[in-house]
Amino acid sequence: MTPSATTAITRLDDASLAALVGKPALENLKRRTRGGQSGLKGLRFEHLFGAHRIARLIQKLNESGTDAVVEWQSDGFVDDFVVRRDEQSSFKGYQLKNAQHVSWTAGTPSIETDFALQWKVSQAEGYSNVRLRLVCSNPELATALAGSVPASLSAYSRAFFFPHGPPLLEMLEAHTWMAEDFAFLSKHAAPTRVDIGQVACVLMGAWDGLSPRARVSEVWSKARDMSPTLLRSMRTDEDARRQLIGPFREVLDGLPDFEYVIVRGFLKWTAMSGSTAGVLSYDCFSDRFRDLQQHIVRLQPKSFEDIEGALA
Amino acid sequence: MRTFTVFASGEAREQLAILVDQNASASAYQDAMTSLGRQLATQVVAKIPSIKLSTVCVACTVEDADYLARGLLEGLTETGVDAARLKLVCFWNERVRRFNGDAHDSFDVAPIIKQYREEVDISNAVVVVVKSIISGACVVKTNLATLIDQVLPQRVVVAAPVMLAGADGRLAAEFPSSTAGRFEYFTFAIDTDRDQDDNVIPGIGGSVYKRLGFEDKSSYVPELVKQRRRGLAHA
Interface subset of A 266-295, CB within 8 angstroms of B:
272-273, 275-281
> Quick one: CA torsion of A287, A289, A292, A298, rounded to 10 degrees?
-80
Is A209 within 8 Å of chain B by CB?
yes
Taking the CA of residue B118 and the nearest CA in chain A, the distance in Å comes to 6
Contact B176 A305 (CB under 8 A): no
Contact B107 A202 (CB under 8 A): yes
For chain A, 312 residues long, give each residue's pLDDT as a single digit of tens. 444 545 588 888 889 998 999 888 888 888 876 655 445 555 578 999 999 999 999 999 999 999 999 999 888 999 999 999 999 999 999 999 988 889 999 988 999 999 999 999 999 999 999 999 999 999 999 999 999 999 999 999 999 999 998 889 999 999 999 999 999 999 999 999 999 999 999 999 899 889 899 999 999 999 998 888 999 999 999 999 999 999 999 999 999 999 999 999 999 999 999 999 999 999 999 999 999 999 999 999 999 999 999 999
8 Å CB contact between B222 and B195? no
8 Å CB contact between B144 and B110? no
SS3 label, residue B8: coil
Amino acid at A245: I
Of A167, A194, A204, the CB nearest to B142: A194
Contact B98 A208 (CB under 8 A): yes
Please give the DSSP secondary-structure letter assigned to residue B197.
T
Taking the CA of residue A78 and the nearest CA in chain B, the distance in Å comes to 27
Is B55 within 8 Å of chain A by CB?
no
Interface subset of A 155-174, CB within 8 angstroms of B:
166-170, 173
Taking the CA of residue A114 and the nearest CA in chain B, the distance in Å comes to 32
8 Å CB contact between A207 and A51? yes
Give chain A positions within 8 Å (CB) of B119. Answer: 275
Please name which of A125, A139, A61, A140 lies closest in space to residue A93, comparing C-alpha atoms.
Answer: A125
Of B96, B176, B226, the CB nearest to A227: B96
The pLDDT assigned to B103 comes to 45
SS3 label, residue B194: strand
> Closest chain A residue to B179 measured between Cα atoms?
A170
> Closest chain A residue to B218 measured between Cα atoms?
A312
Contact B113 A229 (CB under 8 A): yes
Contact A230 B98 (CB under 8 A): no
Taking the CA of residue A280 and the nearest CA in chain B, the distance in Å comes to 6
Is B83 within 8 Å of chain A by CB?
no
Contact A169 B175 (CB under 8 A): yes
Give chain A positions within 8 Å (CB) of B225. Answer: 276
8 Å CB contact between A226 and A202? yes
Please give the DSSP secondary-structure letter assigned to residue B182.
T
8 Å CB contact between A292 and A280? yes
Amino acid at A251: V
Please give the DSSP secondary-structure letter assigned to residue B91.
E
> Closest chain B residue to A274 measured between Cα atoms?
B117
Rg (Cα) of chain B, in Å, rounded? 17
Please name which of A286, A249, A280, A256 lies closest in space to residue A266, comparing C-alpha atoms.
Answer: A280
The sign one gets for the Cα dihedral B92, B97, B103, B105 is negative
Interface test with B, best of A46, A186, A275, A291 (most B CBs within 10 A): A275
SS (H, E, C) chain A: CEECCCCCCEECCHHHHHHHHCHHHHHHHHHHHHHCCCCCCCCHHHHHHHHHHHHHHHHHHHHHCCCCEEECCCCCCCCCEEEEEHHHCEEEEEEEECCCCCCCCCCCCCHHHHHHHHHHHHHHHCCCEEEEEEEECCHHHHHHHHCCCCCCCCCCEEEEECCCCCCHHHHHHHCHHHHHHHHCCECCCCCCHHHHHHHHHHHHHHHHHHCCEEEHHHHHHHHHHHCCCCECCCCCHHHHHCCCCHHHHHHHHHCCCEEEEEECCEEEEEECCCCEEEECCCCCCCHHHHHHHHHHHHHCCCCHHHHHHHCC
Buried b (16+ CB within 10 A) or exposed e, B191-201: beeeeeeebbe
8 Å CB contact between B107 and A235? no
Buried b (16+ CB within 10 A) or exposed e, A122-156: bebbbbeebbbbbbbbbeebbeebeeebeeebeeb
> What burial class does residue A171 get, using C-beta atoms within 10 Å of its C-beta: 0-12 exposed, 13-18 middle, 19+ buried?
buried
Contact A275 B142 (CB under 8 A): no
What is the rounded distance in angstroms from the CA atom of residue B220 to the CA atom of residue B235?
Answer: 25
Report residues of chain B scoring pLDDT below 50. 99-104
Please name which of A194, A199, A172, A174 lies closest in space to residue A184, comparing C-alpha atoms.
Answer: A199
Please give the DSSP secondary-structure letter assigned to residue B109.
B
Give chain A positions within 8 Å (CB) of B107. Answer: 201-202, 204-205, 208
